[in-house]
Amino acid sequence: MSELAIDGGTPVRTGPPLPSAMSRAGRTIGAAEEEAVLRVLRSGMLSGVWGDEGPALAREFAELVGARYAVPCSSGTAAVHLAVAAVDPDPGDEIIVPPLSDMGTVAPVLAQNAVPVFADVDGVTGSLDPARVAELIGPRTRAIIVVHLFGKTAEISRLREMADAAGVMLIEDCAQAYLAEVPGTADDADHRNVVGTIGHVGCFSLQQHKHITTGDGGLVVTDDPDLASRMKRFADKGWPREDGERAYLNYALNYRMTELVSAVAREQLRKLPTVVSRRRAHADALTRLVSGLCQLTPPPDMGDHVYWYYPLVVEGLDEHGLSRYAAALTAEGVPAVSGYLARPLYAEPVLREQRTYGGSGFPIRGAAQYPDGLCPVAESLIHRRLVVLPCNENFTADDLDDIGSAVRKVHEALVGRSTG
């Protein structure tokens, strides 16, 4: 067996770095986006309130995902904030969230003075486990926020049934899951159900690392005209501009998207179906390359995964072993992250030390709420089982071979040889 690069051996990959979201080679920004920016600059109208690009983006995105309405906004976090504000919780009401996500999923709950209640996740996908959610729905629950982690659809139909039975809103955080198709609905070409349209509101991000990007930006979709206009108003200081009147109907902020961002987003949107299908093909190749390794579970895929990243679940390692596994892959030339997060969201200082509103601790009722062990499955993924590999639409066949070879080399050295 050849020596690991982390121990001084020759790395699997000696060529240029893999294309990534941090480099031009791993993005789809080109002449169309340049032209879009110039088109807006030359028009003299840079604001989404009066320009044409924002409304066009809203129409095109709604059509692409099959929703009635879309509202552009300034980030994925803003998108979740629009959704949570539309729930209109009373202070102290509860919103159920997953512990394995970006803080953008949870910060808007605090902003609306609601309490984030963390439900544990599925042991392979890392997305909300409906059985754990069921245990937490109570008289103060107002909404559930589900994240389709890494681009794999969560158990969204089941969660929608539960939300309807409880009379609470279901918010889908689709920042990592553009165009992921909910299983069992793909055959009917006219009614492809993609994530964001099963819950009451779907939220998307255009941040640098997502499938498509404008640097920052966000979108929400819904079929409900009342939710749509309330979210639009929350992004615009509560101002109901469609009524032609200057009024501020409720507490709200300015989360508007500019015309420059909208114009770039429209061009990125045209590329999204290709980005998704190429990532799916690449992930399929990776799954074939790593199959047969013992104690390793590749991402399960029923046609419902769009591979924001390529997550592997590895058994048999301790915390140190998992870090070393990821570091060894990185040394072979395949940047890998152990656990995705350093700790579950509830263990972050903002929640654990209640760094929210002055010294009040509001809206979190006591630090005891977020102890270690709160979500043991999420903790096992973060500390002992999850390794996140890159996936990119611009990978070549050689790139995929390198990733497959690096995983086999590291896995056989640190976990064990293949079965069979």
Ligand X SMILES: *Cc1c(COP(=O)(O)O)cnc(C)c1O
Q: Which residues bind ligand X (CB under 6 A)?
A: 75-77, 101-102, 104-105, 147, 173, 175-176, 205, 207, 216, 218
With 0-12 CB in 10 A as exposed, 13-18 as middle and 19+ as buried, what is 334? buried
Residue of minimal Cβ distance to ligand X: 76
Q: 10 Å Cβ neighbour count for 138? A: 10
Closer to ligand X by Cβ: residue 127 or 354? 127
Amino acid type, 408: R
In angstroms, the CA 320 to CA 372 distance is 18
In the complex, minimum distance from the CB of residue 98 to ligand X, in angstroms, rounded to a whole number: 9
Closer to ligand X by Cβ: residue 216 or 412? 216
Closer to ligand X by Cβ: residue 154 or 314? 154
Closer to ligand X by Cβ: residue 272 or 413? 272
Answer for the pair 208, 334: CB distance below 8 angstroms, yes or no.
Answer: no
> 40: which residues sit within 8 A by CB, 6+ positions away?
46, 51, 53, 259, 260, 263
- What residues pair up with 248 in beta bridges, in sequence order? none
Closer to ligand X by Cβ: residue 77 or 125? 77
Answer for the pair 223, 196: CB distance below 8 angstroms, yes or no.
Answer: no
In the complex, minimum distance from the CB of residue 75 to ligand X, in angstroms, rounded to a whole number: 4
Closer to ligand X by Cβ: residue 105 or 262? 105
In the complex, minimum distance from the CB of residue 216 to ligand X, in angstroms, rounded to a whole number: 6
Closer to ligand X by Cβ: residue 57 or 414? 57
Report the SS3 class of residue 249: coil
In the complex, minimum distance from the CB of residue 101 to ligand X, in angstroms, rounded to a whole number: 5
In the complex, minimum distance from the CB of residue 177 to ligand X, in angstroms, rounded to a whole number: 8
Joined tokens for residue 240: 């109901």
Most distant CA atoms of the chain, gap in Å: 74
Closer to ligand X by Cβ: residue 101 or 354? 101
CA distances from residue 110 to 23, 176, 308, 365 in whole angstroms, order as listed? 34, 22, 27, 12
Answer for the pair 400, 289: CB distance below 8 angstroms, yes or no.
Answer: yes
Answer for the pair 12, 406: CB distance below 8 angstroms, yes or no.
Answer: yes
Report the SS3 class of residue 281: helix
Closer to ligand X by Cβ: residue 72 or 333? 72
Closer to ligand X by Cβ: residue 17 or 215? 215
Joined tokens for residue 236: 């615009």
In the complex, minimum distance from the CB of residue 282 to ligand X, in angstroms, rounded to a whole number: 20
Return the sign of the alpha-carbon dihedral for residues 281, 285, 291, 296. Answer: negative
In angstroms, the CA 37 to CA 41 distance is 6
In angstroms, the CA 207 to CA 102 distance is 12
Q: Return the exposure string of 210-242: e unless at least 16 CB atoms fall within 10 Å of the residue's CB, then b.
A: bbbbbebbbbbbbebeebbbbbbbbbbeebbee
Answer for the pair 287, 276: CB distance below 8 angstroms, yes or no.
Answer: no
> Within 13 Å and on the Cβ side, how many CA atoms surround 392?
24
